[in-house]
Amino acid sequence: MLEQLLIFTRGGLILWTCKELGNALKGSPIDTLIRSCLLEERSGAASYNYDAPGAAYILKWTFHNDLGLVFVAVYQRILHLLYVDDLLAMVKREFLEIYDPKRALYNDFDDVFQQLRKEAEARAQEMKKSEQVSQPTNNMIGKRQGQVQKSGIQGGNKKKSSGESGNDGEDGENVKGRKIENGHTNGKTFAVDRSPFMGSVNRKENVSSNNRAFDVNKLQKLRAKGLKKVDTVTNKSSKEEPKKKITKKNRVWDDSPKESKLDFTDPVGENDDENIVVVATDEGESMMDKDEIVSSDSEMEEEEDAGKDSKIETKKKGWFSSMFESIAGKANLEKADLLPALKALKDKLMTKNVAEEIAEKLCESVAASLEGKKLASFTRISSTVQTAMEEALVRILTPRRSIDILRDVHAAKEQRKPYVVVFVGVNGVGKSTNLAKVAYWLQQHNINVMMAACDTFRSGAVEQLRTHARRLQIPIYEKGYEKDPAIVAKEAIQEATRNGSDVVLVDTAGRMQDNEPLMRALSKLIYLNSPDLVLFVGEALVGNDAVDQLMKFNQKLGDLSPSPNPRLIDGILLTKFDTIDDKVGAALSMVYVSGAPVMFVGCGQSYTDLKKLNVKSIVKTLLK
């Protein structure tokens, strides 16, 4: 049964809902659809699944882009209603006939909807009946064919049994007949079936088998030769003595001084670390506090692209038709009109390292938002699609919530508790290095920072973090290796509370998204300590693997957490951004998959090389 059907504008004004249905929906499926699907450029999908406590819904929708109307139907997932798509199409067609932009209530549409609903249900029942009628006929045909085959097999068996019972001495002849089918007669007689049809078939088979016959003696000789060759090779290899490994010696020149090892590390043990005098590094202002200037040459590029597109269109359509369409405007855009421009955009996004699946979904969403829309005068389809894609990319990459960490740190400071940030990610992406960059940036704003060395798995991880802490003169909490990272993080937060530290930066071990034991340990750490921010550290170099990493990290954190409302990834820190040139697609892939914003971008090896993501610059590079 249909739970709800409603019509609203893109501005959020509800024009009509079915009063007869009027079922109280559990949860908020419509709001979730708008937030996580329509606003996130996922409207190209066929349907949306919504799970709520005690209910599971499927939502289907259609648009009228020219008027900005949205038609949504909600029904329970267990029902599998077949008429919803037809019903939405009919409702859309009938509602457009009475639609007036100045009108806000459409109570007279109830009777029309009831009639449309009855027609759609009747049509679905007829389709079910026709399918049920067609299935028995197919079954009968299959049974008849099976009976014919069985009768033929039984007839052949009867003939064989009668031949065997007639003469006991015919067994040997039947064996000889089998030999003939393999292509060897040896000059002896053989038995032939009396029926003329089967006899002709057997003759053809015998002729073909004789043509394809292979001498067994030749095969045995070839096998014997092969075995001899293998034996000789093994004997030769056994006789040869294993060669000694030659070690390379250093070249010694005449008048050269004695060799000295290139080891410039100080011979200081772990106990003598306290004796080293370290001066705090001051590398200047962090790039986080600097505004990035984007060059304003987009207009020139747009003009060049416009010239190229116009040349292509004039070649395909002809000068007069393209000129007439650009002046008069096209009535309504169809999907076939948008496909060439969308394909070019998809290829462009994929060359910029956007995952193929995401590029395809984005193009489907843009097509859904433009289909049926009227093309304005003096505009081309390619420029319209480009503008729609640019708006969609800006909408995706712009954070939906505040990412001002400094404000959140001061809010936590007023509550007299430390602000906890956990850095997670796969191996080798630069978690510890970028944790130090974030610590340096926070120090620039007079915030007391403490590091927690919770990577108790990788050898050298504690020493690496200790070196950063020493250079930045930041306290570090460590317990060594082979300890429970969740307990280490909890003790570090308690220590920070006692010492009055404002922020605790928790370093964790790198782990692949498929490593369940390490993912379980990470889920335990997040559940036990309830951090304020979970940052996923990912490389800007990855393409399709970014989708897999983020999806599985979120999935594992949700599945392995004992909490009914598990914490997932809150933000993204993109590293190695200075190595990718214009291949910036990983940022789009990660944000699209997780819905989490890019909060930091690592763009170098010094402590100041940390900056914010410039959305306009990324969009411009993607569509360049």
Q: pLDDT tens-digit profile of 262-287?
A: 444 444 444 444 444 555 566 677 77
Q: How far is Cα 450 from Cα 417, in angstroms, rounded to an integer?
A: 13
Among 106-115, 404-413, 500-509, where is mean pLDDT lowest? Answer: 106-115
> Hunting for tokens 């404000």 — which residue is that?
407
Q: Which of 113-117, 207-211, 212-216, 238-242 has the highest mean pLDDT?
A: 113-117
pLDDT of residue 258: 58
Structural tokens at position 182 = 């393999």
Among 151-155, 460-464, 537-541, where is mean pLDDT lowest? Answer: 151-155
pLDDT greater at residue 314 or residue 558: 558
pLDDT band at residue 160 under the 50/70/90 scheme? very low
Say if residues 105 and 68 touch (Cβ distance below 8 Å): no
Q: Span 48-60, mean pLDDT?
A: 85
Nearest one of 86, 92, 85, 82 to 112, comparing CA atoms: 92
pLDDT of residue 68: 87
Angle at 473 between CA 470 and CA 477, to 5 degrees: 70
Taking only the tens place, the pLDDT of each residue in 553-611 is 999 998 998 888 888 999 999 999 988 888 889 899 999 988 899 999 999 889 999 99
pLDDT of residue 445: 93
pLDDT of residue 310: 42
pLDDT of residue 260: 56
DSSP track, 177-223:
HHHHHTT--TT------SSHHHHHHHHHHHHHHHHT---HHHHHHHH
Structural tokens at position 176 = 């000889």
pLDDT of residue 347: 93
pLDDT of residue 30: 86
pLDDT of residue 291: 65
pLDDT of residue 243: 56
Among 373-387, 567-581, 608-622, where is mean pLDDT lowest? Answer: 373-387
Helix (H, G, I), strand (E, B) or coil at 71: strand
> Is residue 176 scored above 90 in pLDDT?
no
Helix (H, G, I), strand (E, B) or coil at 75: strand
pLDDT greater at residue 136 or residue 60: 60
Mean pLDDT across the chain, nearest whole number? 77
pLDDT of residue 222: 55
Taking only the tens place, the pLDDT of each residue in 64-102 is 888 889 999 998 888 878 888 889 999 999 999 999 888
Angle at 252 between CA 250 and CA 255, to 5 degrees: 155
pLDDT of residue 34: 85
> Is residue 256 scored above 60 in pLDDT?
no
> Is residue 184 scored above 50 in pLDDT?
no
Say if residues 397 and 384 touch (Cβ distance below 8 Å): no
pLDDT of residue 208: 43
DSSP state of 274: G
> Is residue 419 scored above 90 in pLDDT?
yes
Q: Which residues contact 323 (CB under 8 A, 6 or more apart)?
A: none
> Is residue 209 scored above 50 in pLDDT?
no
Q: How far is Cα 247 from Cα 152, in angstroms, rounded to an integer?
A: 77
Q: What are the percentages of helix, strand and coil residues in the chain, rounded to 5?
A: 50, 10, 35
Q: Please give the share of the chain, as a percent, with pLDDT higher than 70.
A: 68
Q: How far is Cα 86 from Cα 500, in angstroms, rounded to an integer?
A: 64
pLDDT of residue 281: 63
14-17: strand order across its sheet: 14-17, 2-9, 69-76, 55-64, 48-52
> Is residue 236 scored above 80 in pLDDT?
no
> Is residue 259 scored above 70 in pLDDT?
no
> Is residue 471 scored above 90 in pLDDT?
yes
Q: Please give the share of the chain, as a percent, with pLDDT higher than 90.
A: 33
Say if residues 406 and 286 touch (Cβ distance below 8 Å): no
pLDDT of residue 55: 82
Q: Which residues contact 206 (CB under 8 A, 6 or more apart)?
A: 180, 181
Q: Span 165-185, mean pLDDT?
A: 43
Q: How many CA atoms lie within 13 A of 65 on its CB side?
A: 19
Q: Which residues contact 385 (CB under 8 A, 6 or more apart)?
A: 338, 341, 342, 345, 366, 370
> Is residue 421 scored above 70 in pLDDT?
yes
Amino acid at 70: V
> Is residue 204 scored above 50 in pLDDT?
no
